[in-house]
Structure formats: structure tokens, C-alpha cells
Amino acid sequence: MPLIAVNEAARIVEEATAVLSTEEVSLVEAIGRALRQTVQADRDVPPYDRVMMDGIAFNHRDWENDVRQYSIVGTQAAGAPPEILTGSGNCFEIMTGSELSNGCDCVVPYEEVEINEGKAQIVDGFVPQPGRFVHKTGSDYPAGATLLQPGYRLTSRQIAIAAASGCTHLRVTRLPRISLVSTGDELVEIDLPVERHQIRPSNAYSLQAGLAALGISTVKRSHLNDRPEEIEKKLVSLLEDSDVLILSGGVSKGRYDYVPEILEKLGVKKLFHGVTQRPGKPFWFGRQDDGPSVFALPGNPLSTLVCFHRFVVPSLEKMLGLPTPPTVWASLAEPFDFEPPQTFFLPVAAESQPDGLLSATPRSVSNSGDYASIVSTSGFVELPGEDLSEFPTGYCAKYFSWI
């Protein structure tokens, strides 16, 4: 199968991705999850005429009759049933969040009132108006109005709405079961002694951190040595127990790169192997009928990260039932050029400018194994180099955050 373009690879991944089933969880457990139901207002919002300022409340009719000083006959506290105001020239002290007292239609903040010996005198120059500083019943939404639609990631805003609507539980997308697999005899776990010819499995921890940023904690990590029998045996069980299988390493053309052949032997249909991109060209993707999606990523750290954020993250977002996020564009702060023709993923430090543009400054990376050099970057831009090799200052490119 020949190399394919980045956009074609992204399309294939998107079309092969299915939305997961749902489950019902408590409101606290739903934080960060993908909503899969509508949430409606169980009553008017606000449910009563809510006072918006601490002050006094009275009937505007008295003001029209030239009353300027009012006798304080009680206090209306938030959370208390509304008091009833009777008699001319009287008022209540009233608190923010309380229901407007019966018989009152006017609120004056304390800042506009002088209180002395139980009398409230409105300061010169202030003119009370009926309904001012009052959040009217149902003025935001009437009872039964839809407040949340499926597809929201449940952050502080959505959780507040659900809580205010009396939702003790919400239906959300179940979390995907994800298996992270590092391959290679050279890998040694981080808590073990490491020889000169060995390295630590940074990719597995990097990917797990990326998944955690998406709110996905249902992750299992494994390591496989370069032994075909061991790889096949382990992959059989992982394919059965996973919704997504992400492998790092073992997908190139080397003598010990067994992963693609074994995956196909186990019934994972190869959808592509090799993308015209740098870094990450040997990227392999497939899907098992009625089984998981399999992302076999190149083992070099920068290749792994780029492929994860450019292809795996959008697939997981669709799997969770989230809408496709809008494209983010960044303008190159410096010129950049490269060859040969291919899409180039360029690490950048992106910063918002006073004119509203996102400015992306390229950061030099010696090779796809140079993971430490991207610490000062915020993400990468996608430079479509199939037709171009020189990208001037000001060139606008798609920007992907490391999250």
C-alpha cells in the first residue's frame, strides 16, 4: 500500500471511528465526561423575582407620591419566604439573592440610601425605577427549556447548569478502554537500572498524560519485547479487552518490526501504513471487525506525540460523542522551509498577539528523537509541503496544541 497524504489519513481514521455506548453516572462522576442527553430547566430560571443588590425594597407608587424617606419595617433575607409589605411609606431591607417581597416593585442599593434610626432616606439625585436590580422570573429561560444538548464536555459551566436543574445523575459516553503498548528490547521500566544501550519507555507515560488531559483514565500500559510469539499472544488478549489499542514502535521496515504483520494475522484490517509526513511517516492504522481501532505509532518520541495529537485525539473525541472542534490557525512569526515534498509538523511556541492573531515561533528540533527540545513549545503547526517548500513569515497554518 503506497504512502497516503495527511488529510486522507485523517479522513480514513475519522470514518473508521464509531461513537461509544452510554452509561449513567452521578453528577460528580460526570465532570469532564461527554454529555449524551438533553438537560431541561425543571422550573423557570430564575424561579422567582430575584433581588440583585443589597438595599431596600418598596412600592414605586410611594415615590410617585413624593415619599423620599421610608420606615424600615423588616428584613427580607435570601432563602426566606417573601414578606408582605403593607402601608404607605414603608420598606424592607432586602438582601441579594432573596425573592422580592410581596407589595414591592422597586429596589434601591445601600449605596444610594442613608439609614438612620430605622429610616431610609434616598440620596439626592438617585431616581428609583420599577424592576431595576430585579432579575425577573423566567427572564433567562422558562420551565421546560432545553439548557444543554448532547455533545458537551461537562466542565464547570455545564455542571452548574445541571446542578441548578436538579440533575443528580447524567447520561454520558462511557470511557474507552485503552491499551498502551511500548515495544522494543531496548526499553527498561523507569524504576529499574538502565544500561548504556537501553532507554526508558517515555512514550507510554507521555501518551497516558495526553489521555488524562482528555479525561480518559481507563488506560492500561504494557511492554512487549521484540519476540513475535510474545507479541502475538499479548495482542490477542489486548484486542479482546480494548476499545482502542495504541502501540509505540515496531512499525517501520526494520528486521524486528513485527507489529504490522502480526496485527493483520490477528484480523486487524490495515487501512493505511505510511503517511507523507515528517515526523511520523511509518504510522500504521487499522481496525478489527467488531473490535478496536489500532494506532501503531512510530517509536521516536516526537513522531509518537505528533501522530497522537494529529490523528488519535480527534478519533477519541468523536468516539466520546464530542463535536469536531473548530480549526485553530496560527501565523508563522519567522520563515521556514524544508524538503522533500511532504507535510511537515513544525513544533512552535504560540503566543496571542495584541491584534488577536496567534503567532507561532518555530523551535529547532534536531530529529524526531529529540523530545527534550519541545519542552518550550506549546504545540505544532501543519505545513502542507506537497506543493510548497518555503513558508514565509505570516503564513497561516493549522495549529495543534500539545494540550
| Tens of pLDDT, residues 58-77 | 999 999 999 999 999 999 99
| Tens of pLDDT, residues 319-334 | 999 999 999 999 999 9
Decide which of 1.10.1760.20, 2.10.70.10, 2.40.340.10, 2.40.30.10 is the CATH code for 329-401: 2.40.340.10
Q: Which three three-digit cell numbers place residue 272?
A: 493505511
| Gap between the Cα atoms of 155 and 296, Å rounded | 31
Instruction: Name which of 45, 48, 269 is nearest 146 in CA terms.
Output: 45
The per-residue pLDDT for 24 is 98
The per-residue pLDDT for 128 is 97
Measured distance between the N- and C-terminal CA atoms of the chain, rounded to whole angstroms: 32
What is each CA distance from 168 to 162, 330, 400, in whole angstroms? 8, 41, 36
The per-residue pLDDT for 403 is 82
| Gap between the Cα atoms of 74 and 93, Å rounded | 6
Query: What is the average per-residue pLDDT within 26-50?
Result: 97
What's the CATH superfamily of 50-135?
Answer: Molybdopterin biosynthesis moea protein, domain 3. (2.170.190.11)
| Tens of pLDDT, residues 223-263 | 988 889 999 999 999 999 999 999 998 787 766 578 989 99
Query: Looking at the domain that runs over 6-21+174-319, which CATH code has it been given?
Result: 3.40.980.10
User: Is beta strand 277-278 parallel, antiparallel or unpaired with respect to 343-352?
Assistant: parallel
Class of domain 23-45+140-173: alpha beta
Q: What is the pTM of this model?
A: 0.89
Average pLDDT, the chain: 94
Strands (E), 201-308: 219-224, 244-248, 268-273, 277-278, 284-288, 293-297
The per-residue pLDDT for 256 is 56
Query: 187 falls in which pLDDT band (50, 70, 90)?
Result: confident
| Gap between the Cα atoms of 249 and 257, Å rounded | 8
Query: Could you give the 3-state DSSP secondary structure of residue 162?
Result: helix
Tell me: pLDDT of 366 over 80.
no
Per-domain residue ranges for the chain?
6-21+174-319, 23-45+140-173, 50-135, 329-401
Question: What element of type H or E holds 156?
Answer: helix 156-164
Same fold, 6-21+174-319 and 23-45+140-173: no
